[in-house]
A and B are shown apart, each in its own frame.
Chain A
Amino acid sequence: MYVAVKGGEKAIDNAHKYLAEERRGATDVAELSLSQISEQLSHAVSRVMAEGSLYDKDLAALAIKQARGDLIEAIFLIRAYRTTLPRFGYSAPLDTSEMDLDRRISATFKDLPGGQVLGPTFDYTHRLLDFALAAEGLEPQKAEAAEAPLDEEVPRVLELLNAEGLIEQSAPADYDDTAPVGDLTREPLEFPADRDLRLQNLARGDEGFILALGYSTQRGYARNHAFVGEVRLGDVTVEVIPEELGFAIEIGDITITECETVNQFQGSKTAPAQFTRGYGLAFGHSERKVISMALVDRALRCHELGEDQVAPVQDDEFVLSHSDNIQATGFVEHIKLPHYVDFQSELELVRRLRRNAEDNIREAAE
């Protein structure tokens, strides 16, 4: 006697309860609060906001808690929430030279207007486990404030080069800045994709994927040797211009990280040599992401700059179709769903092919 398996609904309900229990962990350990996550796991929050495409530290912290620290799962929760929100307009372009800086470094000039500002960085920490941190309750040493405040306006390094004509313009001469900006969350991505959509895709793209692609350019797959013109981190004010008002109103401050690279120059007999650009920007403190993004952005500009497309990182269809970790994780993981029917079809075929082959071998032997 055989009875077909039933009870999927009950199993699902129970699995969810078990999951909630596991998320909570041992109940004699204090529960994590959202403010603990947003204050003390701020890089995780930054990544969830950047790849979730939603600037909200509290929601990101909630998603991280709910996802038990699985950041891709947290990003997914944020994306699924974000898609239900109405979109009421575009902001005015951010002016990052007016950023309230926490950090600003340039790899191209020793000193420059606005100065080098190290800020809160892991860069020169020795990666030795700090066992003192394991003992809770220690207050960190206070950082000393600089003698003089930073300049209110700190010019971007690439614009200093631009003043001398040493680098290409940030937008081509025929660029229409009144043209609508693409939005891949509202229109299906089609190829070839313009730079606005490419940058939007990279900004939401998986940090690990973008990192690996950026790395591949450095190892010779479409090398475009990059200098970090600058990386800056800090707060900027977001403004919108409501149609009925006609002037800009501030809607809030956000923390962002921006990277501009100075890449291999181009030139010919008729056009004097000029450096080229790569650009990266992300919500929160996401330095690894924006540097990688700038490398990939530059590589994707190969057609516009007359370069041969020789590596995956230069192929917009390859890069943009595979950068989204929510799409990737869904499709990769879906192969754990039932495929009984297709597998049965293959079984039937392989058994038959083997039977036919064995018959043929036997006939040949007779």
Chain B
Amino acid sequence: MSNSAAPSYNFAYLDEQTKRMIRRALLKAVAIPGYQVPFASREMPMPYGWGTGGIQVTAAVIGPDDCLKVIDQGSDDTTNAVSIRKFFAKVGDIETTEETERATVIQTRHRIPETELTEDQILVYQVPIPEPLRFLEPKETETRKMHALEEYGLMHVKLYEDISQHGEIATTYAYPVKVDGRYVMDPSPTPKFDNPKMNNMAALQLFGAGREKRIYAIPPYTEVVSLDFDDHPFSIQKWDEPCALCGTRDSFLDEVILDDQGGRMFVCSDSHHCAKRQAEGHRGALSADPALETEEVAP
């Protein structure tokens, strides 16, 4: 409790009893990769849907020596990422950063950083609906049984129906994965572009769903396989053009509308990755510094 501005709250807001309860759930989650562990989620001072699950998980694992990065849509400067970062700075005097490499705990909504994570890092996901089977069967009592019996036929039928209707699997985010050969898991609404990064990741991946009161985890170096069919293998999104700012072709791009004449550009969703590449001298078609050569030109 080093912050004099908020002396009445415990370090990282949650009381130690609650942190212990969450850590127990986390330990169980790590022991059974991909399994959804119910936990007594608390009411937080920000709304459900704003990352209360991720915030509780972060609060339970973070210590005074940690350095926190928070991203939303891949960016550190998205309003809710700013707000969560401010919250932890206020209730724990926790050091924050935008540098992916420097952070020991990274809380995210909807993206996995482009920079490869290490064994010294924890990635905390904010999860809205933890149950991958929810939209096939809304009843929790049923889906828990389906997980227990490893009865995932319904999910394959859904993916097959996509193919018969659209010619391909029409799920682009929250794309279901199988963890450690056992549990089918919702990777949270990250784009399927990020699914391959989850496989054998060196960092510990923790998932918190506050409103739904569930925690799950993927331990480091765990096999994570995106569901698919032999004749319709899993594939990730591709763009026709590179990032307009840093010129990369390997990262997830956001579309920015420039005018009402159909003008648009594509830029990295991972703002730190993009800024770092630009600092290293990489340039795209619409870079801020026109004096430098563009690495690639948009078609």
Given the complex, which residues of B lie within 8 Å of A83, measured CB to CB?
42-44
User: Smallest CB-CB separation from B284: which chain A residue?
Assistant: A2
Do B245 and A2 touch (CB < 8 A)? Answer: yes
Smallest CB separation, B107 vs chain A (Å): 15
Contact of B173 among A326, A331, A341 (CB under 8 A): A341
Smallest CB separation, A96 vs chain B (Å): 28
Do A331 and B38 touch (CB < 8 A)? Answer: no
| Interfacial residues of chain A within 318-366, with CB under 8 A of chain B in the complex | 321, 326-327, 329-334, 337-342, 344-349, 353, 356
Do A9 and B86 touch (CB < 8 A)? Answer: yes
Q: Give the secondary structure class of B's interface.
A: loop
- Tell me if A56 counts as interface (CB < 8 A to partner B): no
Do B48 and A330 touch (CB < 8 A)? Answer: yes
- Tell me if A145 counts as interface (CB < 8 A to partner B): no
Given the complex, which residues of A lie within 8 Å of B170, measured CB to CB?
349, 353
Do B82 and A341 touch (CB < 8 A)? Answer: no
Do A2 and B39 touch (CB < 8 A)? Answer: no
- Tell me if A150 counts as interface (CB < 8 A to partner B): no
Do B172 and A342 touch (CB < 8 A)? Answer: yes
Given the complex, which residues of B lie within 8 Å of A321, measured CB to CB?
140
- Tell me if A195 counts as interface (CB < 8 A to partner B): no
Q: Give the secondary structure class of A's interface.
A: helix
Do A80 and B288 touch (CB < 8 A)? Answer: no
Bits for A2-26, please: 1 = Cβ < 8 Å to B, else 0. 1111111101100000000000000
Do B38 and A1 touch (CB < 8 A)? Answer: no
Given the complex, which residues of A lie within 8 Å of B38, measured CB to CB?
188, 190
Given the complex, which residues of B lie within 8 Å of A188, measured CB to CB?
38-41, 213-214
Complex: A330 Cα to B41 Cα, angstroms: 15
Smallest CB separation, A186 vs chain B (Å): 5
Given the complex, which residues of B lie within 8 Å of A327, measured CB to CB?
48, 211
| Interfacial residues of chain B within 48-94, with CB under 8 A of chain A in the complex | 48-50, 52, 72-74, 77-83, 86
Given the complex, which residues of A lie within 8 Å of B192, measured CB to CB?
345
Q: A3-B288, A8-B77, A353-B167 are in contact. Are A345 and B9 (CB under 8 A)?
A: no
Contact of B166 among A8, A334, A353 (CB under 8 A): A353
Contact of A5 among B44, B77, B252 (CB under 8 A): B77
- Tell me if B147 counts as interface (CB < 8 A to partner A): no
Do B140 and A191 touch (CB < 8 A)? Answer: yes
Complex: A84 Cα to B13 Cα, angstroms: 9
Smallest CB separation, B18 vs chain A (Å): 9
Q: How large is the interface on A (under 10, 10 to 19, 20 to 34, 35 or more residues)?
A: 35 or more
Q: A9-B86, A344-B253 are in contact. Are A326 and B140 (CB under 8 A)?
A: no
Do A80 and B45 touch (CB < 8 A)? Answer: yes
Complex: A132 Cα to B167 Cα, angstroms: 70
Do A2 and B79 touch (CB < 8 A)? Answer: no
Given the complex, which residues of B lie within 8 Å of A84, measured CB to CB?
9, 15
Do B254 and A1 touch (CB < 8 A)? Answer: no
- Tell me if B255 counts as interface (CB < 8 A to partner A): yes
Do B83 and A12 touch (CB < 8 A)? Answer: yes
Do B73 and A1 touch (CB < 8 A)? Answer: no
Q: State which of B177-185, B198-206, B218-226, B263-271 sits at the interface with chain A.
A: B263-271
User: Smallest CB-CB separation from A346: which chain B residue?
Assistant: B172
Given the complex, which residues of B lie within 8 Å of A238, measured CB to CB?
none
Do A1 and B49 touch (CB < 8 A)? Answer: no
- Tell me if A189 counts as interface (CB < 8 A to partner B): yes
Given the complex, which residues of A lie within 8 Å of B159, measured CB to CB?
none
Smallest CB separation, B148 vs chain A (Å): 14
Given the complex, which residues of B lie within 8 Å of A2, measured CB to CB?
244-245, 256, 258, 265, 267, 286, 288
Q: A338-B72, A341-B173 are in contact. Are A4 and B245 (CB under 8 A)?
A: yes
User: Smallest CB-CB separation from B269: which chain A residue?
Assistant: A341
Complex: A356 Cα to B82 Cα, angstroms: 40
- Tell me if B176 counts as interface (CB < 8 A to partner A): no
Given the complex, which residues of B lie within 8 Å of A283, measured CB to CB?
none
- Tell me if B242 counts as interface (CB < 8 A to partner A): no
| Interfacial residues of chain B within 82-140, with CB under 8 A of chain A in the complex | 82-83, 86, 110-111, 128, 139-140
Given the complex, which residues of B lie within 8 Å of A338, measured CB to CB?
72-73, 78-80
Do A342 and B110 touch (CB < 8 A)? Answer: yes
Do A337 and B50 touch (CB < 8 A)? Answer: yes
Q: A2-B244, A326-B48, A333-B47 are in contact. Are A341 and B252 (CB under 8 A)?
A: yes
Given the complex, which residues of B lie within 8 Å of A189, measured CB to CB?
213
- Tell me if A303 counts as interface (CB < 8 A to partner B): no
Do A186 and B128 touch (CB < 8 A)? Answer: no
Given the complex, which residues of B lie within 8 Å of A103, measured CB to CB?
none
Complex: A187 Cα to B21 Cα, angstroms: 10
Q: A3-B288, A338-B73, A342-B173 are in contact. Are A317 and B141 (CB under 8 A)?
A: yes
Do A12 and B213 touch (CB < 8 A)? Answer: no
Contact of A334 among B50, B77, B213, B245 (CB under 8 A): B50
Smallest CB separation, B297 vs chain A (Å): 15
Given the complex, which residues of A lie within 8 Å of B191, measured CB to CB?
341-342, 344-345
Given the complex, which residues of A lie within 8 Å of B166, measured CB to CB?
353
Complex: A79 Cα to B44 Cα, angstroms: 8
Report, nearest first, the 8 A-B pairs whose CB atoms are least far apart: A334-B49, A330-B48, A345-B172, A330-B47, A188-B213, A188-B38, A83-B43, A8-B82
A2-B265, A331-B128, A356-B167 are known; give 17 further A-B pairs, CB within 8 A. Answer: A2-B258, A12-B83, A80-B43, A80-B45, A185-B43, A187-B40, A188-B213, A188-B214, A326-B47, A330-B48, A332-B49, A334-B49, A337-B50, A339-B73, A342-B191, A344-B252, A345-B192
30 contacts between A and B (CB under 8 A): A1-B288, A2-B265, A4-B267, A4-B274, A6-B77, A8-B79, A11-B79, A80-B43, A84-B9, A185-B43, A186-B40, A191-B141, A317-B140, A317-B141, A330-B211, A333-B47, A334-B49, A338-B73, A338-B80, A339-B110, A339-B189, A341-B111, A342-B110, A342-B172, A344-B191, A344-B255, A345-B173, A345-B192, A348-B172, A353-B170
